[in-house]
Copies of this chain bind each other. A is one copy, B any other.
């Protein structure tokens, strides 16, 4: 039987702290039991705090991709013109939903190691009429890059568009101001920077978004992908459109409690400092960052170009099989071109970063790559100066 990993440093799901695992040992109760109704209500309230928003919260009971599709299904109808901003694999995927729900895609794209320029967004919106929806990805996990969501959404709102932001892995690692930035539908995942259990879509939905959904010729109701169903049941009547995932919700409550205890700003800072230390190690080892610049590099994982003479899969397997360290490779069209060092959730911490770089050094050497042992780790250690768990 395969050994359990010692460190899960992948790009989500990531290791979940005991508080959030333990919560799932609470008895499964009927979803209309007062105990569960109260827990759901508390959790929704905490979600609003974690998103720092006054918007309505919908916790769709399936992985974030369902939330993203629900956002598309609920706001796009035949003929809807959608500006889809593409700086990576996930941004490109959204086009499938636009097509599925009958919309027309206007694409603005950049190479997958770069970020969307807000000025370009303005330029497109200036010339393209009747864009009702603008969609973009905050943190492109597959390439470890980010987009300036705030500036872009503020521009989109000037043009009257509804904005859909996939911040699945952005929440907790990158600053986000849902209300001030005009993010109409934000979708986050618990299993990324929050270090929660996968299986839920965490959504903040603005009045403009609700208005858009209700204005469709056939508003989406009576479907697993309907957001309006949640409005008319949970939000308005404290009922459920279907059986919620009781245990996973228990866990989410604990996850959000941990996030609020740490403070979202502290959590973001922790991810940023972890990314800096990791990039220092990458550079010291003579490896090349995937992101075209530090500004574009995200804080929850660091994508690294696969060095010449090394096979990506062999490297990851050496790390996993010999030393129990699981990292993520490239995804989709990025497969084989990059590997990703993880510092997401609990692993955005010196112990995990040092262990990871050390095992990377050992594994590169195992595969015949020339490595000065300690060079990468030493650079990371230097970059971690001033770290202090007890300060938060």
A38 to B, closest residue via Cβ: B2
A374–B380 Cα distance when bound, in Å, is: 9
The interface residues of chain B lying within 8 Å CB-to-CB of A349 are 6, 324
Given contacts A30-B326, A61-B63, A350-B323, contact A248 B25 (CB under 8 A): no
Partner of A321, one of B191, B243, B390: B390
Q: Is A130 an interface residue (CB 8 A)?
A: no
A295–B16 Cα distance when bound, in Å, is: 41
How many copies of this chain does the complex contain?
Answer: 4
Query: Does the CB pair B28–A13 fall under 8 Å?
Result: yes
A247–B199 Cα distance when bound, in Å, is: 9
Partner of A35, one of B2, B15, B352: B2
Quote the shortest CB–CB distance from A324 to chain B (angstroms): 5
The interface residues of chain B lying within 8 Å CB-to-CB of A376 are 374
A381–B100 Cα distance when bound, in Å, is: 51
A315–B26 Cα distance when bound, in Å, is: 26
Q: Is A222 an interface residue (CB 8 A)?
A: yes
- Flag A370-392 by CB within 8 Å of B: 1 or 0 each: 00111111111110110111100
Quote the shortest CB–CB distance from A336 to chain B (angstroms): 15
Query: Does the CB pair B28–A25 fall under 8 Å?
Result: no
A378 to B, closest residue via Cβ: B374
Chain A residues 199 to 228 lying within 8 A of chain B, measured CB to CB, are: 199, 222-225
Query: Does the CB pair B7–A28 fall under 8 Å?
Result: no
A304–B26 Cα distance when bound, in Å, is: 30
Query: Does the CB pair A24–B247 fall under 8 Å?
Result: yes
Given contacts A65-B243, A389-B322, contact A382 B373 (CB under 8 A): yes
Query: Does the CB pair B224–A30 fall under 8 Å?
Result: no
Q: Is A358 an interface residue (CB 8 A)?
A: yes
A72 to B, closest residue via Cβ: B223
Query: Does the CB pair A224–B388 fall under 8 Å?
Result: no
The interface residues of chain B lying within 8 Å CB-to-CB of A354 are 354-355, 358-359, 377
Query: Does the CB pair A198–B389 fall under 8 Å?
Result: no
Q: Is A18 an interface residue (CB 8 A)?
A: yes
A4 to B, closest residue via Cβ: B35
A153–B244 Cα distance when bound, in Å, is: 30
- Flag A14-31 by CB within 8 Å of B: 1 or 0 each: 111110011011111111
Query: Does the CB pair A28–B359 fall under 8 Å?
Result: no
Q: Is A139 an interface residue (CB 8 A)?
A: no
7 smallest beta-carbon distances between A and B, as pairs: A374-B378, A374-B374, A354-B358, A10-B30, A199-B245, A373-B378, A62-B62
12 intermolecular pairs with C-beta atoms under 8 Å apart: A8-B27, A191-B246, A225-B225, A323-B389, A351-B358, A354-B358, A354-B359, A354-B377, A355-B355, A362-B387, A374-B377, A377-B381
Known: A25-B25, A365-B385, A377-B381. 7 other contacts (CB 8 A): A4-B27, A8-B27, A21-B27, A21-B247, A324-B351, A373-B382, A374-B374
